[in-house]
Amino acid sequence: MLNIVNKSPLDRGSLDACLQSAEPGAILLIEDGVYAATRGSAGEAKLKAAGGKFKLFALGPDMEARGIADRAMDGVTLVDYAGFVDLVAEYDTCQSWL
């Protein structure tokens, strides 16, 4: 399953809900959700702990738009829009966490 999180971990509990409830698979952070993928962020430790259960991705253009692309944490793969489409096609199901 591809889990898509678009909310900042400082704004909503979407990332926490995903990490606690989702089936193993992948997490794609988009929009303000990319803040969780930065070194020193509120979501970094949680994502590192979940690294064995999930493949971690962040949308590179969203990180660039927020000026944080150079602060991506280890273990998170940055993808472009074509990579986003590839992930959606790769997984049988997608779940958006709002």
pLDDT of residue 46: 92
State which amino acid sits at residue 36. Answer: A
Strand, helix or coil at 8? coil
Tokens of 91: 């997984």
Cβ atoms < 10 Å from Cβ of 30: 19
Tokens of 65: 């738009």
Q: What is the pLDDT of residues 45-72, one digit of tens each?
A: 999 998 789 999 999 999 999 999 999 9
CATH pick for 2-97 out of 1.10.1370.30, 3.40.190.10, 3.10.20.30, 3.40.1260.10 = 3.40.1260.10
pTM of structure:
0.94
- Cα separation, 84 vs 57, whole angstroms: 9
Query: How many whole angstroms from its chain centre is CA 17?
Result: 13
